[in-house]
A and B are shown apart, each in its own frame.
Chain A
Amino acid sequence: MLGLLTLQQECVRAYRRYADTVAVLSAIYHLLKKEPRIADYVGIETKLRNSYGNDVRPDLVVMYEARTKGLVFEFKWSLPFSETLLEKEVREIKKYAVPCSQWKNSNGKVDYHDVVFVCHIEDAQRTLATLSRVAKETDYDFLASDGFAVWTWTISATRGGERREHLIITNAYGKIRNITIENMINQPPGLILPEEVLTYLRSSFTFTREKPPVQYIMIALIQHVFSQFQDPTRGRAVYEITTDMIREKAKIFFPAWHEFDVQTVQLKRRWITEALQTMFALNMIGKPVGKPDSWLIPIPTLKTREPIQSAICKKLSKRQLKITKRPARRGRPRTKTIRLKAHPKMKRINDYF
Chain B
Amino acid sequence: MENIGFSFVDRTSMRLFYDKLYTTRGRRPPLKALILLTDLKVEDLPMVLSRRGKLSKVYYANVTALEEGLYRVSLQKSIGLRDVKREVIIDAGYKGAWIVLTNAESYFITHVLERFFEKLYPMVSRLYLNYSQLRLLLKIIKEAYRGKTTPTFFTIKREKRKPVEHRIFPAKKGTEILWDEDVDEEIQRLLSDDFMVMVDRLDFEVRDENNAMLLQAHITRKGLCKLKFGSFSAFYQNVVLRAIEYGIDRKDFYDKRERSIEKGTIQLHPLQIKYPFSFRNEQLNHFARKITNAYSCSIIHGGNPYFVANLCDYEDGSSFGVAVLGNIITLTPVTRATPQAVWRLVNKIQEILGDGEITDVQMR
A interface residues, Cβ below 8 angstroms from B: 15-16, 19-20, 34, 155, 157-158, 161, 164-165, 195-196, 198-205, 219, 222-225, 227-230, 232-235, 252, 258, 299-300, 302-309
Question: Which of the candidate stretches B4-12, B85-93, B307-315, B350-358 sits at the interface with the other chain?
Answer: B307-315
Enumerate chain B residues within 8 angstroms of A222, measured Cβ to Cβ.
296, 312
Enumerate chain A residues within 8 angstroms of B261, measured Cβ to Cβ.
252, 258
What's the Cα separation between A198 and B280 when bound, in Å?
17
Chain B contacts with A in 305-353, Cβ cutoff 8 A = 305-306, 308-319, 321, 323, 325-326, 328, 330, 332, 334-336
Enumerate chain A residues within 8 angstroms of B328, measured Cβ to Cβ.
199
Task: Choose from A203, A223, A304 the contact partner of B268 (Cβ within 8 Å).
Answer: A203
What's the Cα separation between A195 and B280 when bound, in Å?
18
Determine whether the beta carbon of B318 is less than 8 Å from that of A158.
Answer: no
Enumerate chain A residues within 8 angstroms of B310, measured Cβ to Cβ.
219, 223-224
Q: Taking CB as reference atom, which chain A residue is nearest B324?
A: A199
Determine whether the beta carbon of A302 is less than 8 Å from that of B321.
Answer: no
The answer to whether B25 has its CB under 8 Å from any CB of chain A is: no
B interface residues, Cβ below 8 angstroms from A: 48, 51-55, 122-123, 259, 261, 264, 266, 268, 270, 278, 280, 288, 292-293, 296-301, 304-306, 308-319, 321, 323, 325-326, 328, 330, 332, 334-336, 361, 363-364
4 tightest Cβ-Cβ pairs between the two chains A and B: A227-B317, A230-B317, A203-B321, A199-B330
What's the Cα separation between A252 and B259 when bound, in Å?
10
Task: Choose from A161, A202, A232, A309 the contact partner of B321 (Cβ within 8 Å).
Answer: A202
Q: A227-B319, A258-B264 given as contacts; is B297 within 8 A of A307 (CB)? A: yes
Enumerate chain A residues within 8 angstroms of B293, measured Cβ to Cβ.
305
Determine whether the beta carbon of B299 is less than 8 Å from that of A233.
Answer: no
Q: A223-B319, A224-B312, A232-B122 given as contacts; is B301 within 8 A of A16 (CB)? A: yes
Min distance, Cβ A5 to any Cβ of chain B, angstroms: 17
Enumerate chain A residues within 8 angstroms of B280, measured Cβ to Cβ.
161
Given A199-B330, A202-B308, A309-B299, 18 extra CB contacts under 8 A: A34-B364, A164-B325, A199-B328, A200-B323, A200-B330, A203-B270, A219-B298, A223-B298, A223-B310, A227-B312, A227-B319, A232-B316, A233-B123, A235-B53, A235-B315, A300-B317, A304-B296, A307-B288
Min distance, Cβ B75 to any Cβ of chain A, angstroms: 19
Q: Taking CB as reference atom, which chain A residue is nearest B51?
A: A233
What's the Cα separation between A301 and B270 when bound, in Å?
26
**19 residue pairs A–B, Cβ–Cβ below 8 Å:** A155-B306, A161-B326, A198-B308, A199-B325, A200-B321, A200-B323, A200-B330, A203-B270, A203-B321, A219-B310, A223-B298, A224-B334, A225-B335, A227-B335, A232-B315, A235-B53, A258-B264, A299-B317, A307-B298
What's the Cα separation between A16 and B299 when bound, in Å?
8
Q: Taking CB as reference atom, which chain A residue is nearest B55?
A: A235
Q: A252-B261, A300-B312 given as contacts; is B270 within 8 A of A200 (CB)? A: yes
Determine whether the beta carbon of A164 is less than 8 Å from that of B334.
Answer: no
Min distance, Cβ B349 to any Cβ of chain A, angstroms: 14
Enumerate chain A residues within 8 angstroms of B323, measured Cβ to Cβ.
198-200, 202
Determine whether the beta carbon of A308 is less than 8 Å from that of B298.
Answer: yes
Determine whether the beta carbon of B300 is less than 8 Å from that of A20.
Answer: yes
Enumerate chain A residues within 8 angstroms of B311, measured Cβ to Cβ.
223
Min distance, Cβ A292 to any Cβ of chain B, angstroms: 27
What's the Cα separation between A232 and B194 when bound, in Å?
40
What's the Cα separation between A161 and B278 when bound, in Å?
8
Enumerate chain B residues within 8 angstroms of A205, measured Cβ to Cβ.
266
Enumerate chain B residues within 8 angstroms of A196, measured Cβ to Cβ.
364
Min distance, Cβ B266 to any Cβ of chain A, angstroms: 5
Q: Taking CB as reference atom, which chain B residue is nearest A161?
A: B278
Min distance, Cβ A44 to any Cβ of chain B, angstroms: 10
Min distance, Cβ A287 to any Cβ of chain B, angstroms: 22
Min distance, Cβ B336 to any Cβ of chain A, angstroms: 5
Determine whether the beta carbon of A228 is less than 8 Å from that of B335.
Answer: yes
Q: A227-B336, A232-B317, A233-B51 given as contacts; is B300 within 8 A of A16 (CB)? A: yes
Q: Taking CB as reference atom, which chain A residue is nearest B279?
A: A161
Determine whether the beta carbon of A233 is less than 8 Å from that of B48.
Answer: yes
What's the Cα separation between A127 and B347 when bound, in Å?
46
Determine whether the beta carbon of B298 is less than 8 Å from that of A309.
Answer: yes
Determine whether the beta carbon of B325 is less than 8 Å from that of A224.
Answer: no
What's the Cα separation between A349 and B361 when bound, in Å?
80
What's the Cα separation between A307 and B302 when bound, in Å?
10
Enumerate chain B residues within 8 angstroms of A195, measured Cβ to Cβ.
325
Min distance, Cβ A212 to any Cβ of chain B, angstroms: 13
Min distance, Cβ A9 to any Cβ of chain B, angstroms: 13
Determine whether the beta carbon of B266 is less than 8 Å from that of A204.
Answer: yes
Min distance, Cβ B265 to any Cβ of chain A, angstroms: 8
Enumerate chain B residues within 8 angstroms of A230, measured Cβ to Cβ.
316-317
Q: Taking CB as reference atom, which chain A residue is nearest B318?
A: A227
Determine whether the beta carbon of B305 is less than 8 Å from that of A161.
Answer: yes
What's the Cα separation between A305 and B321 when bound, in Å?
18
What's the Cα separation between A69 and B297 when bound, in Å?
44
What's the Cα separation between A196 and B53 when bound, in Å?
43
What's the Cα separation between A235 and B309 when bound, in Å?
24
Q: Taking CB as reference atom, which chain A residue is nearest B336?
A: A228
Min distance, Cβ B228 to any Cβ of chain A, angstroms: 36
What's the Cα separation between A157 and B52 when bound, in Å?
47
Q: Taking CB as reference atom, which chain A residue is nearest B266?
A: A204
Min distance, Cβ B116 to any Cβ of chain A, angstroms: 14
Min distance, Cβ A78 to any Cβ of chain B, angstroms: 15
Min distance, Cβ B202 to any Cβ of chain A, angstroms: 31
Point out which of A222, A224, A252, A302 has the most chain B C-beta atoms below 10 A from its C-beta.
Answer: A224
Min distance, Cβ A221 to any Cβ of chain B, angstroms: 11
Q: A202-B323, A227-B335, A232-B122 given as contacts; is B292 within 8 A of A305 (CB)? A: yes
Enumerate chain B residues within 8 angstroms of A157, measured Cβ to Cβ.
304
Enumerate chain B residues within 8 angstroms of A224, measured Cβ to Cβ.
310, 312, 319, 334-335
Task: Choose from B259, B300, B305 the contact partner of A158 (Cβ within 8 Å).
Answer: B305
What's the Cα separation between A228 and B314 when bound, in Å?
11
What's the Cα separation between A193 and B54 when bound, in Å?
49
Determine whether the beta carbon of B336 is less than 8 Å from that of A198.
Answer: no
Determine whether the beta carbon of A165 is less than 8 Å from that of B325.
Answer: yes
What's the Cα separation between A307 and B315 when bound, in Å?
17
Determine whether the beta carbon of B312 is less than 8 Å from that of A198.
Answer: no
What's the Cα separation between A300 and B319 when bound, in Å?
12
What's the Cα separation between A327 and B288 when bound, in Å?
40
Task: Choose from B53, B123, B326, B361 the contact partner of A164 (Cβ within 8 Å).
Answer: B326
Q: Taking CB as reference atom, which chain A residue is nearest B321?
A: A203
